[in-house]
């Protein structure tokens, strides 16, 4: 039987591991913000808008990444602005964005001769087909996002969890909120190309939840979460090769099992 080391001696599997790990780690890091700020629906909506962007690009015959980035930026602009003065909750507009993007994607696919085949791959993902050039682009973008968060982590935290104090000491809370949405949107748009919508959304939520259960603190969870994301990617790729299974679905199930293990371990620790 093939071992984990044997799996990653194969060139395309090794490259899939690199692409998947990059995307999963970045999504998991930003996923801590998504989970703690209760922005999970935002993640779903931005992913759906990026998908609709890909469908639009396929119909127009342009690069899918341009479509994904274009509609992602539209989503960031729409979701980071409060459109009414509390008469309608902000979550409602996010839900509207999700529904409209999903409907738009379906309509665009219906009009595209090759859209259906591409869209199935986009939804369920196939990290095995990630090209080296795409991985390099992803690495460049994610490095920029990481540098931004390392340099301005304090501002992101204040804007996210203590905006009143942030404004008191001169932090431009609205600007940093928009930048946070933008970094999450970039991570989603580029990760979808490598991993598909299903695995991207899973990596935004499951590892972050597991890290928060284990650590109980946001600062620690920001570093633990990427580790909890990379492990299911590696094991999922191995299982997909050995068992002839879809890698994205395998990785999602492994990530869920890891979350269950984290929760069970934490419960046992508290009882001890």
- The pLDDT value recorded for residue 259 is 94
- How many CA atoms within 13 Å lie on the side-chain side of 46? 32
Backbone angles phi, psi at 122, to 5 degrees: -65, -45
Q: Is 172 helix (H, G, I), strand (E, B) or coil?
A: coil
Q: What is the pTM of this model?
A: 0.84
- The pLDDT value recorded for residue 13 is 87
What gap in Å lies between CA 155 and CA 132, rounded to an integer? 34
Domain 4-265 class in CATH: mainly alpha
Within the chain, residue ranges assigned H as helices are 4-7, 11-36, 40-60, 64-79, 90-111, 115-124, 132-151, 153-161, 163-168, 173-215, 218-243, 247-271
- The pLDDT value recorded for residue 99 is 81
Q: What is the DSSP letter of 127?
A: G
From the CB of residue 8, how many other CB atoms can be counted at a distance below 10 Å?
18
- The pLDDT value recorded for residue 87 is 61
Residue by residue, pLDDT tens for the chain (272 residues) are: 568 788 888 888 889 999 999 999 999 999 999 888 887 777 778 887 887 887 788 778 777 778 888 888 888 777 776 655 556 666 677 777 778 877 887 787 777 666 566 666 655 567 777 778 888 988 999 999 999 999 998 888 888 887 778 778 877 888 888 888 889 888 888 888 778 888 888 999 999 999 999 998 888 999 999 999 999 999 999 998 888 888 888 999 999 999 999 999 888 888 76
Backbone angles phi, psi at 213, to 5 degrees: -65, -45
139 sits in the region (left: phi over 0; alpha: psi -120 to 50; else beta) called: alpha
Q: What is the DSSP letter of 171?
A: -
- The pLDDT value recorded for residue 189 is 84
- The pLDDT value recorded for residue 117 is 60
Enclosing H/E stretch for 182? helix 173-215
Q: What is the DSSP letter of 128?
A: G
């Amino acid at each position: 039987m093939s071992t984990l080391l044997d799996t990653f001696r194969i060139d395309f599997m090794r490259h899939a591991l690199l692409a998947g790990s990059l995307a999963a780690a970045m999504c998991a890091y930003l996923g801590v913000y998504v989970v703690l700020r209760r922005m999970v629906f935002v993640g779903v909506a931005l992913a759906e808008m990026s998908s609709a962007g890909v469908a639009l690009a396929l119909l127009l015959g342009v690069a899918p990444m341009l479509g994904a980035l274009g509609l992602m930026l539209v989503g960031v602009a729409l979701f980071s602005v409060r459109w009414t003065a509390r008469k309608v909750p902000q979550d409602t507009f996010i839900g509207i964005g999700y529904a409209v993007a999903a409907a738009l994607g379906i309509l665009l696919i219906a009009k595209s001769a090759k859209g259906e085949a591409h869209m199935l791959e986009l939804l369920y993902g196939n990290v095995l087909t990630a090209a080296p050039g795409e991985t390099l682009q992803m690495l460049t973008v994610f490095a920029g996002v990481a540098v931004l968060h390392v340099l301005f982590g304090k501002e992101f935290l204040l804007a996210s969890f203590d905006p009143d104090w942030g404004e008191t000491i001169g932090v431009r809370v609205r600007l940093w909120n928009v930048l946070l949405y933008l970094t999450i949107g970039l991570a989603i748009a580029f990760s979808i190309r490598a991993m598909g919508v299903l695995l991207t959304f899973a990596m935004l939520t499951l590892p972050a939840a597991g890290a928060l259960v284990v650590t109980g603190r946001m600062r620690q969870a920001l570093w633990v979460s990427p580790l909890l994301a990379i492990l299911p990617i590696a094991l999922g790729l191995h299982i997909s090769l050995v068992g002839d299974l879809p890698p994205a679905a395998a990785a999602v199930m492994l990530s869920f099992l890891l979350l269950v293990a984290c929760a069970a371990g934490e419960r046992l620790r508290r009882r001890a």
